[in-house]
Each structure stands twice: as C-alpha cells, then as structure tokens.
A and B are shown apart, each in its own frame.
Chain A
Amino acid sequence: MSILPRTGAASGADVLIALRHVSKSYRRGGQIIPVVSDITFDIRRAEFLALMGPSGSGKSTLLNLIAGIDTPDGGSITMGGADITRLPEAELADWRAANVGFIFQFYNLMPVLTALENVELPLTLTRLGRRDRRERALLALDLVGLSDRVRHFPSELSGGQQQRVAIARAIVTDPTVLVADEPTGDLDRQSAEDVLAIMQRLNREMGKTIVMVTHDRRAAEHARSIMQLEKGELSQRVELPHD
C-alpha cells in the first residue's frame, strides 16, 4: 500500500482527468457552506478510483463536478486538454453524452422503457442507426449477463439486475470515464458483489476509467486506488495492491 502526496497530482501522459484548485460551496439560509475546498488531483487513464469519506465530506459533489453535472465555483477540470468548467450548457450535455457513463445508487432507469430500450437510450444521442443501436445495446446487456431480460421492464427486475442494466446503459456509448455514485448502496451483499465484479472486469479487461463514490470499505477495496475526503479536502490517496 503506498500513500501518495496530499495533492494527488500525477505527472506523465497517462493523466485522463486533471482537477486543479477546484472548490464548490452552497448557499443555505444566507450562509455559504464550503463543500469542496481547493482540491487538486489527477485521475489516470484506466484507473479505478474509489472516493470515500464520511457524509458531507464532499465526495458526491466532487463526483458530480468530474462528471460535468455540476459546475465548480473556482478551479479547472480538464479532460483531454479541454476545460469542461468553461463549456456552455448545451456543449457540456454533448460532452457528457460522449464521455461519461453514469451508474447511480437508485439505478434511475426509465420505468416505462424495457431493459433494451433503457440501454439504447443514450445511443439515440449518437449518429448510429436503429439497427446498430439495437446491436450495441444487446451486446452491452450480454456483457452484464442480462441477455435473457432484454424485454423486461425495470419493475420486473431485481435491484441487482436493474443496476446491471444501468451499467450496460453506462458503457453502451463506450464513454471515456464511468462515474458511479454509491452503486451498491441499495443492493444486498450478493448483488453488490456481482455489480462490483462487473465494474472490476470493465476496468481490468476493457481498460475503463472508473470513479466510484462509496462509503462501503469492502466496495472500495475493489478499486485500484482509494481517495479519502474529509470536510471537503483531500486527506489521503491509497494505491491498492491487486494481482
């Protein structure tokens, strides 16, 4: 186990996402509450990073900033040399569609669409034709072991199966980075293990960069590195040994 410097900034060409002096605060009842304070670190290509920390430590906010669904008050977040904090709203949406795959705690599948349609949904933002979209969606569902559930609606699936559909939806566009916010938080132990195993496979075999927020130490141990946040600040970054 190795402890990296507090800033967590790496050097070299393998840096995928670079955060520099990122800060974010919320206004509540006339008071400004800092949530993320002057954070600087890098995420390497093909990294599986777990963000941990107690409630209110700012880990989900940090994830939202990396994913481009929230904007920081200060600092920069660059991916492939482009600063996403400077992108206008519509371009940021396009950037998300092309670069980010989301896995949410409560799956957030569209209840009125089948598993296949849910997975196909992000592909409607691409130029792919209907047949290609279907093929890719089926492939993604096959990858998460749900090729026999393609016509099922979310309400007909277990929590673990729904989360696997959500993973298929997240990877179907082949995004640059997968972000997962407490992906096992609503699952039983076995389902959680299945989901984490899939994520681990995506990282190791397919080289997917994954940033996962979790408060579960056992879930975090599936990652390659763990970053600890406390009161909006980066406290430590730990590289985990994996064979």
Chain B
Amino acid sequence: MRLLLAYSLRNLRTRKITTALTAGGMALVLFVFAAVLMLDSGLKQTLVSTGEDANAIFVRRSAEVEIQSMVDRRQAGIIESQPEVLLGSDGAPVVSKEVVVLIALPRQGSGQTSNIVTRGVGAAVLTLRPKIHIAKGRMFRPGSNEIMIGGALVGRFTGLQEGSTLRFAQRDWQVVGQFDAGGSGFDSEIWGDNAQFMQAFRRDAYSSVVVRLASRAGFNSIKARLESDRRLTVEAKREGVFYEEQSRLMSGFIQILGVTLSVLFSVGAVIGATITMYAAVASRKREIGALRALGFRRSSILVAFLAEAMLLGMVGWVVGLSLASLMMLVKVTTLNWASLSELAFRFVLTPGIVLQSLCFAIVMGFLGGFLPALRASRMKIVDALRAN
C-alpha cells in the first residue's frame, strides 16, 4: 500500500500545474473556513477569559449585560457580607462593586466615534482579577479623578494614552496608568474609582457586584441563598459563564455565516477536484489496466485514486491553513453586540481548528475523488490496456 500511495503522491507532483490550481481552489476554501473559526475562537477566548471562575458576579435578575443591570447599595452590602466571600489580608471582603457606563470617544484617524466601556471599580479589583496587572504608570487613587486605560485602547482613540487628560461626564479625567488584561475584554475598557464614576454619571446604583469566593464550591450555596432572599432582586453567575454567554450571539452568527460560506465555496472546489481527478483517470487508463492485470483489486485502485484526491485536499489544507495562520497577526475590533461597546481581539488558531480544517480538506478530497476513483476501479482491464 505504501508503494501505491507513493504512486498517487508522485502523480500529483508530476502534474504540478493542475495540482497547484486544484489545491489552490481548495486552499481558498480552507482559508475562509479556518479564518472564520479562528475569528470565532478569538472572540470566545477574549470574552471567556474576561471572567474568572473563582469570582461570582451579581447582576439584576434577567439582565444579560451589566449596562442593563442595577444593584442598589443596600443589596450590594448584603452580597459582600456573605460567608462564602473571601476576606483579604486586611480582613475586608474581596469585592468590587462596579458601575458600567458607555461613553463615545473619537477614533484615531477616522474621527468617528465608538462606544467604550467605562468601569468604576472597587479598590480590591486587582486582587479580584489577578490576571490583570499595571503595564505602565500606576493604579488610580481612590476618591480622585484618575483613570486607567486598557492596553487595547492605546493608539485607537484620539488622545488616549498615559499622561493625557480625557473629558467625559462633565469632568476632566487624568490617565495615570495603563493595564494589561491579557487580551481579555477588559483590555478595551477605561477603569476608575467607582464612587467617583457614580457621582459623575449621576448613578445611585451599581451595575454589578463581583466577589472573590473563598472556595469555588461556595458558589452554589451563595447563589442559592441570595437568589431566594426576598430582599434581593439579583442573579448570581460564575464570572466566566457570564462573559461566555455574551459571546454566544456573535459566535453563533459568525459560525453560521462562516460555515455556510465555506460549504458554498467548497462545492466549487469539489467540482474542481472532480474534474482534475477525471482527467487524471483518463490520462492513466493504461496504468490502471496494468495495475489491475498485475493483480491489484478494484478496491485497491479505488483507494489509490481516493488517496490521491485526499492528498490533493491535504495540499490545499497546508496552504490554506498557513495563510489563515498569518491572520493571527491581525487585530480585529468589532462591536460587542451584547454590551454595544467596542471590543478588540485577535484571530486564534487552536488545535481543534487545525483538526477541523484537516477533516474538511479530506472530506472535500474524498467527495471530489469519489466518482473518478469509482470509474477507475470499474474499468474493464482489456479496455483500459487498449487506451491510447
């Protein structure tokens, strides 16, 4: 079988131009397929990594995003006093009572405005979210008009950098630091002191309350207790799940659009492979006849030509995936449909995408090669040997 596979592979190499053109068609389809999955994966990774599983987030019941939610000070006080909440070294609960408001800022270059999330956070926010660290400058001082910006905003909005002053909510805000949230959704946010933000935005309720749990297992009990507490109108979610849910709408849309496009394009690529393989069978009739005469069964011929077509698909896969992997260098900004704010993320290639695109390539090769391979295997030996 090894020699028969070598025969198939070398035949592809011999017909360089035809192979390149057919595999090129397949490569384009696989590029689109892999790129769409990478886009989806990047979006998911950004939003999912925004949440920490050891954190619980409390929002108003049935609010899907923080900008729809309100948790008043009294309810926030009850939440932070629960026994499942981790206490810091100072004995205070590790909690961030957060207020989330969208502001519009002009984009660099085009001047068009985009929505940005501003998040008023508690002093314990960096203990609560240990993956986030200050990359430049320093943390804002509580009770001041100081803010920090996420790394993904730098260079995308006019005048948004460490040391600059930003005007929103009728106040001037001093940018004193830049934080790195590891490519998560927080990287596209502006953070400041929650009390200052509430005052400036004239809010009297928080958007959410995020607590660090003393143990992950404590989530179920705090959720059960607080959701059944008649004084409260909140819903508890693990922070990771909360942000993952935000990605579902966009992720679903990207997947449906991407897979539909890929499947439509693949019809063309499969037809191309079929034509190529029919031509290959027609030009090698005598070889097929000789192989059959030597004792190779019909099934061996079928497998050899199917293998050739699938190898063609794999050549397309290598090229398509290589091109798609270059997309990892591209940073994408889009509107988060859930929060209506701008979100920056990258294309992410995962082992799953490598495997999925390989399967897609092999299936395209198989479909393209099946009828020609069947024809090759069904040829009458005598007729095949007589072919010119």
Contact = CB atoms under 8 A, between A and B. Distances in A.
Contact of A90 (B6, B298, B380, B382): B298
B298 A89 contact: yes
B293 A96 contact: yes
A236 interface: no
A108 B289 contact: yes
B7 A110 contact: yes
Contacts of B295: 93-98, 100, 122, 125
A70 B7 contact: no
Given A108-B385, A110-B287, A102 B293 contact: yes
A162 B291 CA distance: 16
Contacts of A120: 3
B293 A69 contact: yes
Interface string B127-168: 000000000000000000000000000000000000000000
A67 interface: yes
A98 B294 CA distance: 9
B292 A124 contact: no
A125 B7 contact: no
A1 interface: no
A173 to B, nearest CB: 8
Given A108-B385, A110-B7, A69 B14 contact: no
A104 B381 CA distance: 13
Given A96-B295, A108-B385, A102 B290 contact: yes
A15 interface: no
Contacts of A112: 7, 10-11, 13-14
Interface string B1-28: 1111011001101100000000000000
A67 to B, nearest CB: 7
B201 interface: no
B248 interface: no
Given A113-B3, A113-B6, A113-B10, A104 B290 contact: yes
B375 interface: no
Contacts of A98: 295
B253 interface: no
A17 to B, nearest CB: 17
Nearest to B11: A112
B1 A124 contact: yes
A135 to B, nearest CB: 15
Interface string B371-383: 0000000001110
A88 to B, nearest CB: 11
Q: Main SS of the interface on chain B?
A: helix
Given A108-B385, A111-B14, A121 B3 contact: yes
A71 B115 CA distance: 79
- Chain A contact-residue range equals 20 to 34
Contact of B294 (A97, A106, A113): A97
A47 interface: no
B367 to A, nearest CB: 25
B107 interface: no
A102 B295 CA distance: 10
Given A64-B382, A69-B381, A69-B382, A93 B296 contact: yes
Nearest to A91: B297
Interface string A79-118: 0000000000110011111101010101011111100010
Contact of A93 (B3, B10, B292, B385): B292
Contacts of B223: none
B129 to A, nearest CB: 59
Most A C-beta atoms less than 10 A away, residue of B3, B290, B294, B299: B294
Contacts of B6: 113, 117
Interface in A199-231: none
Nearest to B9: A112
Contacts of A97: 294-296
B237 interface: no
A57 to B, nearest CB: 16
A124 B297 contact: no
A122 B382 CA distance: 19
Nearest to B388: A106
A24 to B, nearest CB: 10
B382 A70 contact: yes
Contacts of A121: 3, 291, 294
Interface string B279-290: 000000011011
A100 B381 CA distance: 14
A110 to B, nearest CB: 6
A155 to B, nearest CB: 10
Contact of B4 (A69, A89, A124): A124
Interface in A119-138: 120-122, 124-125, 130
A112 B298 CA distance: 21
B1 A106 contact: no
A90 B290 contact: no
Contacts of A109: 290
Contacts of A106: 286
A105 B292 CA distance: 16
Nearest to A101: B294
Contacts of A64: 381-382
15 contacts: A64-B381, A70-B381, A90-B298, A93-B295, A94-B295, A97-B294, A97-B296, A108-B290, A109-B290, A112-B7, A112-B11, A113-B7, A121-B3, A122-B295, A169-B294
Give me the 7 closest cross-chain CB pairs, A-B, nearest first.
A97-B295, A112-B10, A108-B290, A69-B381, A96-B295, A93-B297, A122-B294
